[in-house]
Amino acid sequence: MSFYRGSSGINAEYGETFYEVQMKLSSEEGEDLIVGLNKIVEKCCEILEEVQNRVPCFKIFLVCEAMFKKLVHDDNSIKAHFRTKTAVCMQTTAIGDVMKLGRDKIMESLESYEAQGSGWIFESWSGAALKIAKYFPT
């Protein structure tokens, strides 16, 4: 898995208000539905534990990009995006638990997408973006 820390108004020290981490999976990593998603979640946990040590309170969500193909022999593929709900995290938050809930939400959404009868089936994960924003509770 490769990743880069893209930004939109934040420096490397988490000094501003918003941070984005882009992740790309290799073709082998992305082909398996469960393994690929677990790799994304593991990487997110590593990153968020680092953030948790530096930022007292923040909000996060994860967007995963998947490729789908038709059941019939067709060369067409489409991209679909699945995201977690936004979660508020503090220094005492169990990041692993938050990300497991997010993983389950993405899987549920993906399964629902396939079950809608469109004929599209999962082909691979093509990437993900972890969005992090400082949060200032009132």
Per residue of the chain (138 residues), give pLDDT as tens. 454 555 444 344 445 577 888 888 887 878 899 999 999 999 999 999 988 988 889 999 999 999 998 877 667 888 999 999 999 999 999 999 999 999 999 999 999 988 887 788 899 999 999 999 988 887
Q: Give the long-range contacts of residues 81-88, CB within 8 A, separation 24 or more.
A: 82/106, 82/109, 82/110, 82/113, 83/109, 84/60, 85/61, 86/59, 86/60, 86/61, 87/59, 87/60, 87/61, 88/57, 88/58, 88/59, 88/135, 88/137
- pTM for this model (two decimals): 0.84
pLDDT value for 3: 46
